[in-house]
Amino acid sequence: MAKQKILVVDDNEEIRNILHILLESEGYEIIEAPDGETALTLVNDSIDLIILDIMMPGISGLDVCKQIRETYQMPILFLTAKGTDSDKSFGLLIGADDYLAKPFSHSELTARVKSMLRRYYVYKGKELAKDDSFLTYDIFKVAKDRNEVTVISSDGSEKSIDLSEIEYQIFKLLIESPGRVFPAQLIYETIWNEPYFYSSNATIMVHIRNLRTKIEEDPSKPTHLLTVWGKGYKLQ
């Protein structure tokens, strides 16, 4: 079986070397890029995950992420400096799947990488045979085994919704039990498969906001994806 391929993008050579050695020891194939321009020339369908620094000279990591998301859906893990909450939120908004603050521990990094790759392989069906089963609720139709979501119009026509992998996983979780209130902790531990901390709320809120912009006619007045204050979120 071919090794999973990770693209590491950081202008700091020392950090690239550390990531290369650490992840290679875990059995991954590592490709390096010292800047955003180089990274964009290296991205293709063979890349399974991208670790992307935000603060880089030339094209920033945020702009690189935005350009990648125009074509590709592999998971993107942002490396950020502590205290850059606005960058984190914007990064998730434009398509990143998660972020990790510098300095980070080796165990935390490898846990995030393994979790993101596991989700990507399961939900994209890169190693699994696809079937044609769907979940349907109200005007929505969601494929069970791949990132495929459509809205069904009153005339029966279907319009595809372009969701990130995380958005798809959250929406699929909610549509499996419409009307059920899912606490943020349950969503995080189910989708990220990691222990929940209070700071994880911000991550959940950003992805919920992104989902609303894509599935609601008026995201400021949602009628489908609702917040139950103090309890969580539900699909109605």
Across 58-67, average pLDDT: 92
120 and 9 inside one domain: yes
Q: Is the pLDDT of residue 83 over 70?
A: no
Computed from CA positions of residues 108, 71, 33, 123, in that sequence, does the dihedral angle turn out positive or negative?
A: positive
Share of the chain above pLDDT 90, in %: 51
**Total H helices, total E strands in the chain:** 8, 11
Confidence (pLDDT) at 122: 62
Confidence (pLDDT) at 144: 87
Pick the more confident residue, 212 or 105: 212
Average pLDDT of the chain, as a whole number: 86
63 and 82 inside one domain: yes
Confidence (pLDDT) at 226: 94
Q: Is the pLDDT of residue 125 over 60?
A: no
77 and 109 inside one domain: yes
Q: Which domain holds residue 62?
A: 5-124
pLDDT confidence bin for 35, thresholds 50/70/90:
very high
Structure-token pair, residue 52? 């992307």
Q: Is the pLDDT of residue 123 over 70?
A: no
Last residue of a domain, one of 90, 124, 158: 124
Nearest to 165 by CA among 54, 5, 48, 44: 48
Structure-token pair, residue 164? 């990130």
Q: Is the pLDDT of residue 85 over 50?
A: yes
**Residue 172 contacts residue 211 (beta carbons within 8 Å):** no
Give how many domains the chain has, as a whole number: 2
65 and 110 inside one domain: yes
Beta-carbon contacts of residue 166 (< 8 Å; ≥ 6 apart): 97, 98, 191, 207
177 and 199 inside one domain: yes
Confidence (pLDDT) at 59: 92
d(CA 31, CA 9): 9
Nearest to 122 by CA among 69, 85, 172: 172
Last residue of a domain, one of 69, 102, 124: 124
Which CATH number is 108's domain given?
3.40.50.2300
Confidence (pLDDT) at 127: 45
78 and 147 inside one domain: no
DSSP state of 4: P
Q: Is 80 exposed, middle or buried (0-12, 13-18, 19+ CB in 10 A)?
A: buried
Confidence (pLDDT) at 130: 42
Q: Is the pLDDT of residue 58 over 50?
A: yes
Compute the 3-state secondary structure of the chain and give helix, strand, coil in percent, each to the nearest 5.
Answer: 40, 20, 40
Which CATH number is 146's domain given?
1.10.10.10
Residue 216 lies in a domain: yes
Query: Reduced to 3 states, what is the DSSP secondary structure of residue 92?
Result: helix
Q: Give the N- to C-terminal CA distance of the chain in Å, as an integer.
A: 43
Residue 129 lies in a domain: no
188 and 223 inside one domain: yes
Q: Is the pLDDT of residue 219 over 80?
A: yes
Confidence (pLDDT) at 232: 93
Global pTM value: 0.58
Last residue of a domain, one of 54, 89, 124: 124
pLDDT confidence bin for 215, thresholds 50/70/90:
very high
111 and 145 inside one domain: no
Weakest-pLDDT range from 87-96, 121-130, 180-189: 121-130
194 and 230 inside one domain: yes
